[in-house]
Amino acid sequence: MSTATYTVVGMTCGHCVNAVTEEVTSVPGVTAVDVDLASGRLTVTSDAPVDDDAVRAAVDEAGYELAGSA
Ligand SMILES: [Cu+2]
C-alpha cells in the first residue's frame, strides 16, 4: 500500500471536496482519498504508487489544481 499527500488550491466548500474526492477516486489503483478543506491537503492511498501526473490531471478535471503546478 502507498500513501501520497498533495495540496489542492481553490477549494472553498464541501462541494469542492466532493468533486476532488470523486475525480481522484477514479484514478486507477487508488483505494482511498481524503481531502481536508481547511488545509487543502489531499491524501491518496493506493495499492501501488500512483503517478503524480494522474493525480494532477484528476484534480484539474475536478476544476482545481495542485499547489506548485504550472
Ligand atoms: Cu465548493
Ligand 1 centroid to residue 4 C-alpha, Å: 23
Ligand 1 centroid to residue 27 C-alpha, Å: 21
Ligand 1 centroid to residue 64 C-alpha, Å: 10
Ligand 1 centroid to residue 19 C-alpha, Å: 8
Ligand 1 centroid to residue 40 C-alpha, Å: 12
Please give the chain's pLDDT, 70 residues, in tens.
999 999 999 999 999 999 999 999 999 999 999 999 999 999 999 999 999 999 999 999 999 999 975 4
Specify the pTM.
0.92
DSSP of 2-69 = EEEEEEEES--SHHHHHHHHHHHHTSTTEEEEEEETTTTEEEEEESSPPPHHHHHHHHHHHT-EETT-
